[in-house]
Amino acid sequence: MTRRLSDADRAVLYDAENTWAADDDFFLALASRRPISRVLDLGCGTGRLTVALAAAGHRVTGVDPDEAAIARARSKPGSDEVTWLVGDSQVIPRAGFDLAIMTSHVAQAIWRDDEWARTLRDLAGALAPGGRVAFDSRDPAARAWEAWNPVDSRGALTLPDGTPVEGWFEVLEVDEGRVTFVDHTLLPDGTDDAAEGTLAFRTQPELRRDLTAAGFTVDAVYGGWHHEPVGAGAGELVVLAHRST
């Protein structure tokens, strides 16, 4: 049997699957290089890092197209210190942000080239002169999708209400830097929630090219959350750049 979880169910599942980790430490430390920063969290999801940024004293705006994710973010302690917006980069206010972040591989979910280019332009327009942008994207050289199969990717967890679930990934197609896959969630009654998605795996040269075209200067690209060189870290491309003008 196959059915779809509700958007609210997915928001709960997302929180259960994605707890605080090294990437959150990295982005929080980056923001805190300045005592108080105006921070934009694009693709903020359920607000795990967004709320932590506000708790650290930053003025934070969280943006996500998923209304259920924003609703769950609003329910968390400290969420009233954040400005929450539903939408993509087109709803970002031109507020002179000091830092814009896209975490949890949000950049890869913007897989269409025209939308990616527009997103980077919108971010440049929202930043103050010299403002920074930071995001993570899986390094295609690490070929992470090869482990997205029912054996290697299978895992289990228990939701806050005590419901046990299992999950795994299934790759449908790999073509020209795009990976299309199905995210399976098996519920206790045997139903299989199957959600299809596509991610862009952009190379470091492609990311540098796209950022330059949008008006950014790339400052650094790391391979992991401890500033490792590309290829020697966690299979990541952690990109730091600043608005050129």
- Taking the chain, what is the end-to-end CA distance rounded to the nearest angstrom? 54
At residue 102, the pLDDT reads: 98
Cβ burial of 158 (10 Å; 0-12, 13-18, 19+) is exposed
Percent of the chain residues past pLDDT 90, beyond the cut: 82
Nearest in space to 189 (alpha carbons), one of 166, 170, 160, 159: 166
At residue 190, the pLDDT reads: 85
Which range, of 37-46, 54-63, 154-163, averages the lowest pLDDT?
154-163
Give the 3-state secondary structure of residue 26: helix
The per-residue pLDDT for range 16-54, each reduced to its tens digit, is: 888 999 999 999 999 998 888 899 999 999 999 999 999
Percent of the chain residues past pLDDT 70, beyond the cut: 98
Which range, of 3-17, 91-105, 123-137, 157-171, averages the lowest pLDDT?
3-17
pTM: 0.94
Phi-psi region of 73 (alpha: psi -120 to 50; beta: other; left: phi over 0): alpha
For CA atoms 186, 187, 192, 198, the dihedral sign is negative
| Confidence at 189, pLDDT banded by 50, 70, 90 | confident
Q: Indicate whether 2 pLDDT > 50.
A: no
Q: Reduced to 3 DSSP states, what percent helix, strand and coil does the chain have, rounded to the nearest 5?
A: 30, 35, 35
| Confidence at 116, pLDDT banded by 50, 70, 90 | very high
Rounded Cα distance between 47 and 53, Å, is 10
Is the model more confident about 95 or about 169? 169
For CA atoms 109, 111, 114, 117, the dihedral sign is positive
User: How many DSSP H helices and E strands does the chain contain?
Assistant: 7, 12
Output phi, psi for 17, to 5 deg. -80, -25
Are residues 192 and 186 in contact, defined by beta-carbon separation less than 8 angstroms? yes
The per-residue pLDDT for range 95-114, each reduced to its tens digit, is: 899 999 999 999 999 999 99
DSSP-derived letter for residue 51 is: H
Q: Indicate whether 5 pLDDT > 80.
A: no
Rounded Cα distance between 216 and 224, Å, is 21
- At the fourth CATH level, the homologous superfamily of domain 2-140+202-243 is Vaccinia Virus protein VP39 (3.40.50.150)
| Confidence at 1, pLDDT banded by 50, 70, 90 | very low
Where in the chain are the domains?
A: 2-140+202-243, 142-199
Q: Indicate whether 4 pLDDT > 90.
A: no
The tokens of 75 are what? 């329910």
Give every CB contact of residue 186 below 8 A, 6+ residues apart in sequence: 165, 166, 167, 192, 193
